Amino acid sequence: MVGPAAGIGHQRHMAIVQRPHGRHERNRLSRLAKGVEGSAQCGTILDGLHGQSLAVIERVAASNEGQRGESRKDIIVSMSGGKPHIIVFANEKGGSGKSTTAVHTAVALTVSGHKVAAIDLDTRQKTLARYFENREATTKRREAELETPVYVVLDPLTPEALDQEIARLSVGQDFLIIDTPGRDDPVARAAIARADTLVTPINDSFVDLDLIGQVDPESFRVSKPSFYAELIWDLRKERARADGATVDWVVLRNRLQHLDAHNMRRVGAALAELSKRVGFRTVPGLSERVIYRELFPRGLTLLDKKHLGGFSVSHVAARQELREMISSFALPTHEAAQRELSFA
């Protein structure tokens, strides 16, 4: 292997394996690092695994190996011991594309053969529930076949009701997706503490980055984690004390610009630095596209190719972004779906 990517991969390989981990984590990290050296996502994969548990490392390794066509049936199984894998979408700042991302994730997992349920904790806007209601209306109006997950709006909005709804919806499901409101909320905190995967979408700007980390105004280096990062840290510790499980925290860079820019690079560098200090993975999300605003009234997603009408180059690019995003979540999906979320 030659070229800059090879050198960077080797340096990251040596650096990450030498960081504090248990023996099993170090061995697995070493094998994963060797497998991704020279790949375009080498830095993203390795930098996001600092301090993560063996379960998270195994899921990321399985995702990476599955993309290369290797069979990892022994790894790609439910990480929750028969219970659904809980994915929580949370960000106290609104306007980050949180509900849109949650809906597309839920539908992507559904159409790829998984049993999915969803809970909307935003009892005022109900964006996730309204999206699925529009989807059901389109199904009836067009007599179309549009797969829709089971969904509810939590009522009453209490941690106790959340636990009851999780227990009720968990029966027979592979995934349970929870969409939280764009504000600080005790029930949202309870949901985060119950997550297996926590996804925090942010717009690619220092305004949104300030939610999880403050930066120096001159150097743009991270000066300290912000209140939300500290909150997530405390909730992850709460989860570890409760059942010994690890919350895999994914920060999703939504609304990325199509053109390279100084701001985009600076935000990326700050996130990479902060991820090592706080313990999250950074994943590219959904770009700023008009199509996402147009889909809501009909409840359609980018996966509903037959019902979108004209299918442009922009649609194809957006579907590819979605495919890569779901794969980067490294979820414990069925083997075939993990290897290729084709979204036919």
Domain assignment present for residue 343? The answer is no
Residue 13 shares a structural domain with residue 38: yes
Q: Grade residue 292 by pLDDT with cuts at 50, 70 and 90.
A: confident
- Pick from 183, 178, 166: nearest CA to 129: 178
- Does the pTM surpass 0.95? The reply is no
DSSP for 66-131, written as a single string: HHTT---TTTSS-TTTTSPEEEEE--SSS-SSHHHHHHHHHHHHHHTT--EEEEE--TTT-HHHHH
Beta bridge partners of 200: 251
Give the tens place of pLDDT for each residue, 248-289.
999 999 876 655 577 788 898 999 999 999 999 999 988 877
Residue 4 shares a structural domain with residue 83: no
pLDDT at 318 > cutoff 90:
no
Which structural domain, as residue segments, surrounds residue 20?
Answer: 1-77
228: region left, alpha or beta (phi > 0 left; psi from -120 to 50 alpha): alpha
Q: Grade residue 32 by pLDDT with cuts at 50, 70 and 90.
A: low
177: region left, alpha or beta (phi > 0 left; psi from -120 to 50 alpha): beta
Domain count for the chain:
2
pLDDT of residue 86: 97
Domain boundary residue, one of 43, 77, 111: 77
pLDDT at 181 > cutoff 50:
yes
The CATH number linked to 292 is 3.40.50.300
Query: Which burial class, exposed, middle or buried, applies to 144 when counting CB atoms under 10 A from its CB (0-12, 13-18, 19+)?
Result: middle
Domain boundary residue, one of 77, 101, 129: 77
| Mean per-residue pLDDT, 1-7 | 37
Domain boundary residue, one of 50, 77, 104: 77
Domain assignment present for residue 264? The answer is yes
Give the tens place of pLDDT for each residue, 118-157.
999 999 999 999 999 999 999 999 999 999 999 999 999 9
Domain assignment present for residue 276? The answer is yes
CA distances from 131 to 172, 183, 290, 330 (A): 23, 20, 17, 25
